[in-house]
Structure 1
Amino acid sequence: MCLIVFDWRPDARHGHRLLVAANRDEFHHRDTRPLQFWPGREHILGGIDDGARSEDGLPGTWMGVTRGGRFAALTNYRAPRDVNPSASSRGRLVSEFLASDLPPAEYLLDVQSRSRRYNGFNLLVGSTLGPDPQLWWHSNRSGQAPLRLKAGLYGLSNALLDTPWPKVRNAVGSMLYALAASSERTVLFRLLGDDRQAPDDELPRTGVTLARERLLSSVFIRSDDYGTRSSQVLDIGASGRIDYIERSFLPDLGPGVFQERQLEVGAPVAAAGRRADERGSAG
């Protein structure tokens, strides 16, 4: 995952507890399976990254939720000079939390104790339903202990939480608009389809080339070998209802073509292929 914006309302009695809009950016050749209830672990709902599978059969993923409202998501921390090619898969950090019953703080303390095994990451984990809703953030590049998040609107890309990269600022601003709109879902997918690149004088300097910084500066990324593979909107309601929509993009078929899967916890899968009116999202 390379962009996550989310509105966290732990005290909500109506509407959403957690609303997430996120893009997963990845190389086109990396094997991925779309949003689904996991075989053998049907309480977990998420996509599957087959490039992160391990010997115990637990797949890697970038974002997921359980029927009980456990949530986890991850972004990579961009620091190409520090990359260790033999490091453990970061996608396992999401899967391990979803498959466990550890409280979020206890799980993150365990992750912190072994964080040197991984390249840079940001990890969100939470138990969003029940009597004590919690959402936590931890990065092995922050030098800080895991942080329990207060209610609010947050943005996360490939730096630390709320680092004001142009794409983060734009996405957070658009999500503020979405929260006030009657067609919230439409606005969220529109913000996730924003492919405008930032001006050079606003680009971060993360150790990649200027051309690469430009490419990576947009919310929705397009290139021949790398780009936004899917967009997700997740709504965890205070009532316990969970709606998760994923749009998977098909770069070989051209811009604006996607497959959409909408899953509601406790309901059957609905899947359909559509051609968007806009490039990268449906308006």
Structure 2
Amino acid sequence: MCLIVFAWKLIPATPLIAASNRDEYYERPSAAAAVWENSPQIFAGRDLRSGGTWMGLTNGNSSDTSQRKFAAITNIRAPSETRAEAASRGELVANYLGGNLSARAYVDTIRPQAHLYNGFNLLLADQDDLIWFSNRNQDDVRNGQPLAAGIYGLSNASLDTPWSKVVKTKAEFASLICQQAPDQAYFEMLSNTTPAPDCRLPDTGISLAMERLLSAACIESPNYGTRVSTLVKMHAEQPAQLIEKFLR
């Protein structure tokens, strides 16, 4: 997943709203969000190559909010640091959703092993806290700590890094929340294929052509792009929602 914008504890009835695009090679096999047979508390999509997931919920179809959790992950774009032998980052999401630890306790558990993975941003929520944890960006005081109420954006760099698609999507996301917009409006937001102007492109160690391609909220190319858009709502007293729209 390469773009996620989310609001935390701004609406009492819906403490978490998240809208995201998952970008991946089209040939990588995956399954739509569903209850996992081997872990029936998990409601999530599944990476059929490595077995993990990029985003999911627990108790997605239950009115019991006491054990509800949410997790999502994005990769950090750092091609010079990528190791082929590193563990799959998707297991970090699956293990949290499949276990009994709180968000804070899970971060404490995985922190010593975080170096075994290529760069990642992990979002973990329970009924009390939402935590952003990354094995990079150690100088950010928010890393590994509960986030304050607010609106945040995450792509393939640190939390709220002002990449054009993060800034633009966060602003539109905030507007939709203020308008109490219908679900379809969030998917329209995520479908924006307009690339950023060259003057606003980051330099992440890839070619200028690739920086242009990856600068859109919704990515389209012959072999890589946005596979699925997802809207998540964790309500205070109603079942959580995870709605997908497949593009590829």
TM-score (norm 1): 0.82
* SS, match of residue 237 in structure 2: coil
Distance 1:31 1:94 in 2: 18
Distance 1:171 1:72 in 2: 20
* Equivalent in the alignment of 1:140: 135
| 221-230 or 105-114: bigger deviation | 105-114
Distance 2:206 2:35 in 1: 36
* Equivalent in the alignment of 1:42: 40
Please report how far the alpha carbon of residue 238 of structure 1 lies from its aligned counterpart in structure 2 after TM superposition: 1.3
The one-letter code of the counterpart of 1:137 is W
Correspondences of 1:215-226 after superposition (within 5 Å): 215-226=213-224
Higher relative contact order (CA 8 A, sep 6+): 2
* Equivalent in the alignment of 2:195: 197
Distance 1:227 1:236 in 2: 27
Work out the percentage of aligned pairs sharing the same amino acid: 40
Contact kept in structure 2, 1:34 and 1:48, CA below 8 Å? yes
Q: Which runs of 4+ in 1 moved over 3 A?
A: none
Could you give the per-residue CA deviations for residues 86-125 of structure 1, whole angstroms, max 9, x where no partner exists? Answer: 1000000000000011121121122211011100000001
The one-letter code of the counterpart of 2:93 is V
* SS, match of residue 199 in structure 2: helix
Distance 1:143 1:19 in 2: 26
* Equivalent in the alignment of 2:124: 125
Which structure shows the bigger proportion of residues in strand conformation?
1
* Equivalent in the alignment of 1:65: 57
Could you give the per-residue CA deviations for residues 194-248 of structure 1, whole angstroms, max 9, x where no partner exists? Answer: 0000000100000000000000000000001100000000111111321110011
1:177 partnered with 2:175: yes
The one-letter code of the counterpart of 2:121 is N
* SS, match of residue 48 in structure 1: strand
| 138-147 or 191-200: bigger deviation | 138-147
* Equivalent in the alignment of 1:8: 8
Number of residue pairs the alignment of both structures matches: 238
| 236-245 or 68-77: bigger deviation | 236-245
* Equivalent in the alignment of 2:62: none
| 148-157 or 172-181: bigger deviation | 172-181
Q: 5+ residue gaps in structure 2?
A: 60-66
| 178-187 or 145-154: bigger deviation | 178-187
- Alignment RMSD: 1.2
* Equivalent in the alignment of 2:89: 90
Contact kept in structure 2, 1:28 and 1:226, CA below 8 Å? yes
Distance 1:155 1:183 in 2: 19
Q: 5+ residue gaps in structure 1?
A: 54-59, 251-283
Correspondences of 1:248-267 after superposition (within 5 Å): 248-250=246-248
Could you give the per-residue CA deviations for residues 170-192 of structure 1, whole angstroms, max 9, x where no partner exists? Answer: 11011011112243312211110
| 228-237 or 182-191: bigger deviation | 182-191
* SS, match of residue 70 in structure 2: strand
TM-score (norm 2): 0.93
Please report how far the alpha carbon of residue 69 of structure 1 lies from its aligned counterpart in structure 2 after TM superposition: 1.7
* SS, match of residue 118 in structure 2: coil
Contact kept in structure 2, 1:69 and 1:240, CA below 8 Å? no
